[in-house]
Chains A and B, each alone.
Chain A
Amino acid sequence: MKAWYQMAIVIHQVQARVPVTIMQLHGELDASHYLDVIAQARELYAAGTRHLLLDLSDLSFMASSGLVALHSIALIMRGENPPDPAQEAWGVAGSRTARSSTHNPR
């Protein structure tokens, strides 16, 4: 049986009428990787990216956590600061010990 499937993020820059950053996702996007995708988008926005194109054509699977990533990226690129989904799900450093009413199952 195969082990953990990696997901790769590849970044390209192209110059159109405006500079466009292309983020290509390869593999399977589930809850084990979606925070990496959000973090990458935060880094790009902080570095000045304002036009981001997501290329999902090589994704063979996307879970609802992938939708959370897309939602978060849309907000990030609008200049908003969406809550960290990891904090929502785990509590700080995964130490939450009791379920809270704010738990939002994916």
Chain B
Amino acid sequence: MDGPSYLRIAADLKNLATIRHFVEGVARRGNGNPQAITDVLIATNEAATNVILHGYQGQPGVIEVEVAYDQDTLVVYLRDRAPRFDPTSTPALDVRLPLEQRPLGGMGVHMMRQLADELIYRTTDDGRNELVLVKKGVRESR
């Protein structure tokens, strides 16, 4: 596995772009496929947004982002100390509903599920939330 790259940043919506560009930089330096990287960026952005809005709910906090390649697989770890929030446990969204009947929101978790090959939520030994996004086949042959 390539050595992980690490970002620790305030849980603020204004930092979403910084998180995306951090993940993108690590992924591109590892010679990742651009389309697969875009999928990871979208999924990571949704996960971080949920941490900020639904985890910390506007309260100050920190998000830790760790990115690493494991052969051709790109793995993003998002950790936070917000109250427990497991996005993988939310019910599936019915995307076939007409616009008028569909609730605003709810697409983020759907997009994460669609774009990541694996989505794992767990609590770390020291009590932090950890969401692991796994995308296979990201690395192009070297």
| Bind each other | yes
A3 to B10, CA, bound (A): 12
Q: Contacting A105 at CB < 8 Å: which of B14, B20, B87?
A: B87
| Chain B interface helix/strand/loop/mixed | helix
User: Is there a chain A Cβ closer than 8 Å to B46's Cβ?
Assistant: yes
> Are B17 and A90 in touch, CB under 8 angstroms?
no
10 interchain residue pairs of minimum CB distance: A94-B58, A106-B108, A64-B107, A5-B17, A32-B13, A104-B105, A64-B108, A4-B14, A31-B49, A89-B53
> Are A99 and B16 in touch, CB under 8 angstroms?
no
A75 to B104, CA, bound (A): 11
What 0/1 pattern do residues 68 to 103 of A give for CB contact below 8 A with B? 100110110000001101001111001111010001
User: Is there a chain B Cβ closer than 8 Å to A17's Cβ?
Assistant: no
> Are A105 and B18 in touch, CB under 8 angstroms?
no
User: Is there a chain B Cβ closer than 8 Å to A65's Cβ?
Assistant: yes
Residues in B with CB closer than 8 Å to A89 are 53-54, 105
Give, as a whole number of angstroms, the nearest-CB distance from A62 to chain B: 9
Residues in B with CB closer than 8 Å to A1 are 18, 21-22
Query: Could you tell me which residues of chain B, from 102 to 125, have a CB within 8 Å of some CB in chain A?
Result: 102-111
> Are B46 and A63 in touch, CB under 8 angstroms?
yes
A65 to B53, CA, bound (A): 11
> Are A85 and B54 in touch, CB under 8 angstroms?
no
> Are A104 and B106 in touch, CB under 8 angstroms?
yes
User: Is there a chain A Cβ closer than 8 Å to B15's Cβ?
Assistant: yes
User: Is there a chain A Cβ closer than 8 Å to B73's Cβ?
Assistant: no
Give, as a whole number of angstroms, the nearest-CB distance from A94 to chain B: 4
Residues in A with CB closer than 8 Å to B42 are 63
What 0/1 pattern do residues 1 to 32 of B give for CB contact below 8 A with A? 00000000000011111101110000000000
Give, as a whole number of angstroms, the nearest-CB distance from B85 to chain A: 8
